[in-house]
Structure 1
Amino acid sequence: MLESVKHIILILSGKGGVGKSTVSTQLALTLKEKGYKVGLLDIDLCGPSVPYLLQLEGKDVHQADGGWVPVYADEEQNLAVMSIGFLLNNRNNAIVWRGPKKTAMVKQFLTDVCWGKLDYLIIDTPPGTSDEHITAMENLKTVKCDGAILVTTPQQVSIEDVRKEITFCRKTGIPILGLIENMSGFVCPHCSNCTNIFSKGGGESLAELAKVPLLGSLPIDPRVGQLLGKACVKELPDSPAAKVFNSIVEKIAVT
């Protein structure tokens, strides 16, 4: 199912709550706005946020002869989405599964979804280095995975956890495309000034220490948080977030 996918990018972090799903959805939307055909796979089984962030809650996944047909976020079918959230009857339902069942579901997502021809497949992962990550890597061995984008926040506690994720990538042979420092300051919606409510520069120092590229620093911008299903590069072209995502796409497109 992945043979027709040109590029596969993992979004990873050792820390929860750093904004991986927001980065994943906005990166996918940015690539779509640039004219690429994009797939977005959410393998965070216990906390699937992608359907909400793309305003696709309540959509159904259909079964075809070749496998599952993903949910499309646009009429032109340039953004295909798959998530466990589409298989739940209620958004309040909890996934209470042991490792083997989670592993089987991730494997099914990677082998039984009819993605068709894609330029990019973005895989949004849960925090940590657990069953889902190992299953994803085992199933991606037969196809070319471009690498991983790591997401952190500036605080030291997040930096320490993401450092473990760098070790995981190097042990499993995943190329690291770069690091994003998310929540790097707060952009006031009234005056547009940026205030560093957390510490600053943690992502930059980690990137320098680990010798990986720093792809950009994303501030907290309430306007971006309200763009459910919309690309910040189109709706807020002058925002700091739009500039960072445009820069990231330029960098990964070159690699």
Structure 2
Amino acid sequence: MKGFRCLAVLALALLAAGCGPPKSRDGIDAACSRITFEEGRFTVCRADPGKHELLLADKGADGKPMREFAALRGRLGPRAARVAFAMNAGMFNEQGNPIGYYVEDGAQQVALNRRKGPGNFHLEPNGVFWGDAAGWHVATTDAFAANTPAHVRFGTQSGPMLMIGGKLHPQLSENGTSLQIRNGVGVAKDGSAWFAISDEPVSFGRFARLFRDRLGCPDALYFDGAVSRLWDPVAAREDEGQPIGPIVVALQKR
């Protein structure tokens, strides 16, 4: 009887493992996982510099903002088969154009925005997420302006910063009453980039602490709220919702 119980436990364990999230699909390894942090539910995606390349995309072949993941697939063409995940990445106007600094494929399309104004984008310090020959980075707008790299491969400006040198943005409360679906990005000390989206409405403070206390990112940047969406092909997840603006894409290297 004892041996039967052991076999039954083993069978249940194997069944549970088989029913878990897929580890790969069509040759693409899973980069995203669902986690719980401070009783909140999140999906986090890790881009590994040795395994992934990151790019930004905004406009389709017609020169107009794509606004949807479906249009992104057409824009990527054969590269769409290598998508590990994609996520909206930066704030935009009513037409879907970036309202802050934006660089795509090494070409600057929008200059750094240092104007004052209302809304989350202008909740200073805001910041920039970019990639260059040295890797992937997040920094405040002022820090980026003071030491702009000679060649930026991709870059998007958004705001506010969530974490700055391991500390919460000074104007974010620990756990405020404004609750939204939120997404953002942080860069860990090992050079990997962590992208996170909440799977339920959360406060700015809890979302910021996720990057510091769970993902190990001393610097993190808020992308958006309410319109936040994720495309995770391995998990067969493609969020629907309001039209989005710029999109960051992680492609698995060949």
TM-score range, shorter chain: under 0.3
Q: Which has the larger radius of gyration?
A: 2
- TM-score scaled by length of structure 1: 0.27
- Report which of the two has the higher share of helix: 1
- TM-score scaled by length of structure 2: 0.27
- Report which of the two has the higher share of strand: 2
Q: Which has the higher contact order (CA 8 A, sep 6+)?
A: 2
